[in-house]
């Protein structure tokens, strides 16, 4: 989500052409999620390859997440000027370059630079696909196609779990990540051949962005209590599942819980599959009960915190059924964070929704960055001297950091929910201008 000007409705494109262009564009998003999640199941191997501790390993994910978050507004401006095709090509090329660098890197600085390239390319992808949906499909089908795009993109996380772990352990680090880059290059070639911005061809570069207008929209969006409610909703619901999937879940399951690499990757795959099923349910509940969305936010957050409490307090390693329960609850975090964008949509006029969504999107990524770093630091501090890897006790202390973030987020959601309700009540009392 980012700053995006909704294009004027275009004539309906032929169905086969629209399906082909959208299908290839979605494959670009699948590849982006594949690149994004490739570090999640290779963190343990990365720590051995680069001979680094948990804090340094955390910087790999932080670099990727920080660049993604910082690029939200700039990407929207670039997209309005250059169109989807150019940005998908640029983003795909950046991610392929990043994975090639990561495959060949033996130096930590080069590895971090590689993750920065992946984050840059990833930031350009999803919103570019959404713009293609807006141009190639009639307006009444846009919501369904947007939801389908986001759901299908998660196939990349499945490819980045068990298959990547098997390849890594069979072929080694460099061949595995060169194969990842090859997949990205194949998708990039498909984009060059098949994707067009509109049914009439490629979009000509637009005018230079009006930065003053962008700043005005951002200030107006931030002044709206509903936007800040969306930001804190995204903050409190996203970070636990996101950090588990992107980096620390796999080491926790393998090093802390003693699972095999394949079993750990299978649990991450189960988490992704569960997201497919829960996403439409969350969307349906928000549509049916728009005045009780905050209740859903607190239910999701409370359930996540409660299951984590049982896992962290369990004497010894947690049983399999409890770890399955954990990943199923964490799977709801991603769809739950989308409630933040729904707040932004209902609290802002149409011409400001893109700016408000960009603000909301920062919340969850900011929380994720803080947690990724905090877990890495606590793991290093809590790991007994002389041990090569963290033990279960260290992981317990590290994941307990989440409760501080949940407390902060819950307080802020309550605060801005009340502010939003007061604002809505004040507007209802104000007579309409004739």
Q: How do residues 108-120 score in pLDDT, each as one tens digit?
A: 999 999 999 999 9
Residue 416 CB contacts under 8 Å (≥ 6 apart), including other chains: 225, 226, 228, 229, 232
Flag whether pLDDT at 424 surpasses 80: no
211-426: CATH topology is: Growth Hormone; Chain: A; (1.20.1250)
In order, the DSSP letters of 295-338 are HHHHHHHHHHHHHHHHHHHSSSSPPHHHHHHHHHHHTTHHHHHT
Separation CA 220–CA 233 (nearest Å)? 19
Higher pLDDT pick, 413 / 355: 413
Flag whether pLDDT at 202 surpasses 80: no
pLDDT at 10: 45
pLDDT at 310: 97
Residue in 55, 132, 49, 44 with CA at minimum distance from that of residue 86: 132
Average pLDDT of 74-80? 78
Beta bridge partners of 198: 201
pLDDT at 213: 76
pTM over 0.85: no
The answer regarding whether domain 8-209 maps to CATH 1.20.1250.20 reads yes
- Helix (H, G, I), strand (E, B), or coil: what is residue 68? helix
pLDDT in tens, 277-312: 888 888 778 878 888 889 999 999 999 999 999 999
Residue in 237, 186, 203 with CA at minimum distance from that of residue 30: 186
- Asked whether the domain spanning 211-426 has the same topology as the one spanning 8-209, the reply is yes
CB 379 within 8 A of CB 252: no
Flag whether pLDDT at 218 surpasses 70: yes
Residue 177 CB contacts under 8 Å (≥ 6 apart), including other chains: 38, 99, 100, 102, 103
Higher pLDDT pick, 386 / 136: 136
Higher pLDDT pick, 384 / 9: 384
Alpha helices in 83-172, H assignment, sequence order = 84-104, 108-123, 126-136, 142-153, 155-159, 162-171
Separation CA 104–CA 99 (nearest Å)? 9
Flag whether pLDDT at 4 surpasses 80: no
pLDDT at 100: 97
pLDDT at 309: 97
Domain boundaries, the chain: 8-209, 211-426
Residue 353 Cα distances to 223, 336, 345, angstroms: 13, 19, 6
User: Quick one: tokens of 248?
Assistant: 């620390």
- Helix (H, G, I), strand (E, B), or coil: what is residue 198? strand
């Amino acid at each position: 989500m980012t700053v995006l000007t909704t294009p004027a409705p275009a004539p309906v494109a032929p169905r086969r052409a629209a399906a082909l262009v959208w299908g290839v564009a979605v494959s670009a998003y699948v590849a982006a999620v594949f690149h994004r999640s490739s570090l999640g199941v290779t963190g343990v191997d990365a720590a051995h390859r680069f001979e680094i501790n948990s804090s340094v390993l955390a910087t790999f994910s932080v670099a990727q997440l920080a660049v993604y978050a910082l690029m939200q507004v700039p990407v929207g401006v670039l997209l309005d000027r250059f169109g989807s095709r150019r940005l998908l090509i640029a983003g795909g090329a950046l991610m392929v370059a990043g994975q090639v660098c990561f495959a060949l890197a033996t130096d930590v600085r080069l590895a971090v630079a590689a993750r920065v390239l992946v984050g840059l390319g990833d930031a350009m992808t999803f919103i570019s696909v959404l713009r293609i949906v807006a141009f190639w499909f009639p307006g009444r089908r846009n919501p369904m196609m947007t939801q389908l795009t986001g759901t299908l993109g998660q196939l990349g996380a499945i490819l980045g779990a068990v298959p990547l772990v098997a390849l890594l352990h069979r072929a080694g680090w460099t061949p595995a990540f060169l194969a990842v880059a090859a997949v990205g290059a194949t998708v990039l070639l498909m984009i060059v051949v098949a994707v067009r911005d509109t049914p009439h061809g490629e979009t000509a570069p637009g005018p230079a962005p009006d930065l003053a207008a962008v700043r005005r929209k951002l200030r107006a969006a931030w002044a709206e209590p509903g936007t800040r409610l969306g930001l804190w909703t995204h903050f409190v619901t996203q970070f636990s599942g996101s950090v588990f999937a992107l980096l620390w879940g796999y080491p926790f399951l393998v090093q802390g819980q003693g699972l095999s690499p394949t079993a750990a990757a299978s649990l991450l795959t189960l988490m992704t599959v569960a997201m497919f099923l829960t996403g439409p349910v969350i969307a349906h509940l928000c549509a049916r009960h728009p005045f009780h969305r905050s209740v859903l936010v607190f239910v999701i957050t409370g359930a996540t915190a409660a299951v984590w409490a049982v896992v962290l307090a369990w004497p010894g390693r947690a049983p399999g059924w409890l770890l399955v329960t954990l990943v199923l609850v964490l799977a709801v975090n991603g769809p739950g964070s989308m409630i933040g964008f729904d707040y932004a949509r209902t609290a802002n006029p149409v011409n400001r929704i893109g700016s408000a969504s960009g603000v909301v999107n920062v919340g969850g990524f900011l929380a994720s960055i803080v947690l990724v770093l905090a877990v890495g630091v606590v793991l290093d501090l809590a790991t007994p001297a002389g041990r090569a890897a963290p033990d279960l006790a260290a992981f317990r202390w590290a994941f307990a950091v989440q409760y501080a973030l949940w407390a902060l987020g819950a307080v802020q959601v309550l605060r801005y929910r009340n502010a939003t309700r007061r604002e809505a009540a004040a507007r209802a009392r104000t007579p309409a201008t004739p």
